[in-house]
């Protein structure tokens, strides 16, 4: 988990270390990844990160600086998209897949309600699962590898 012991705290009760850990794991890690991989990626390649709607809306219980970290990730993605696009011809994107019943999500305490709400209101009324998320991850990793390093 990115920010154990802090994620269920109110933002105003989050420690400095907890807040910095959230920013480091959820935002700066993507910057660092691109810093190292952009120079060896092929033009036309792409990178992708995962965000969460708490970057835009208040999700009670999603605390510990995580909503701020996801907002930073989305802001950084815009800057990185411009920089990587201009300098390396690489696309940079972030997506939000929706609520996932994960160990980290259980820390906020009401993931089941969030999944039920999502199921009732989303166009694709299908619950995400860790297995499917891993498949998507490996699919995107494969696409990233193939397009970025010229395998295809």
Mark whether 145 is an active-site residue.
no
Q: Using CA atoms, how far apart are residues 34 and 18, in angstroms rounded to an integer?
A: 24
Can you tell me whether residue 92 is helix, strand or coil? strand
Q: Using CA atoms, how far apart are residues 107 and 105, in angstroms rounded to an integer?
A: 5
Please tell me which residue in 28, 52, 117, 145 is annotated as part of the active site. Answer: 52
Task: Single out the residue of 50, 52, 47, 51 nearest to residue 35, CA to CA.
Answer: 47
> Side-chain half-sphere of 48: how many Cα atoms within 13 Å?
18
Please tell me which residue in 19, 28, 62, 145 is annotated as part of the active site. Answer: 62
Task: Single out the residue of 103, 101, 80, 63 nearest to residue 27, CA to CA.
Answer: 80
What are the residue numbers of the active site?
A: 52, 62
């Amino acid at each position: 988990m990115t920010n154990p012991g802090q994620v269920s705290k109110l933002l105003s009760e989050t420690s400095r270390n907890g807040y910095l850990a959230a920013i480091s794991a959820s935002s700066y890690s993507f910057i660092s990844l691109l810093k190292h991989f952009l120079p060896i990626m092929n033009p036309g390649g792409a990178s992708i990160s995962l965000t969460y709607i708490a970057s835009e809306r208040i999700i009670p219980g999603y605390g510990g600086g995580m909503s701020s970290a996801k907002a930073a990730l989305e802001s950084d993605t815009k800057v990185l998209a411009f920089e990587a696009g201009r300098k390396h011809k690489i696309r940079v994107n972030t997506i939000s897949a929706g609520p996932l019943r994960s160990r980290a999500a259980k820390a906020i305490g009401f993931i089941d309600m969030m999944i039920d709400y999502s199921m009732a209101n989303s166009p694709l009324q299908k619950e995400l699962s860790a297995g499917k998320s891993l498949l998507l991850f490996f699919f995107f990793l494969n696409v990233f590898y193939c397009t970025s390093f010229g395998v295809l």
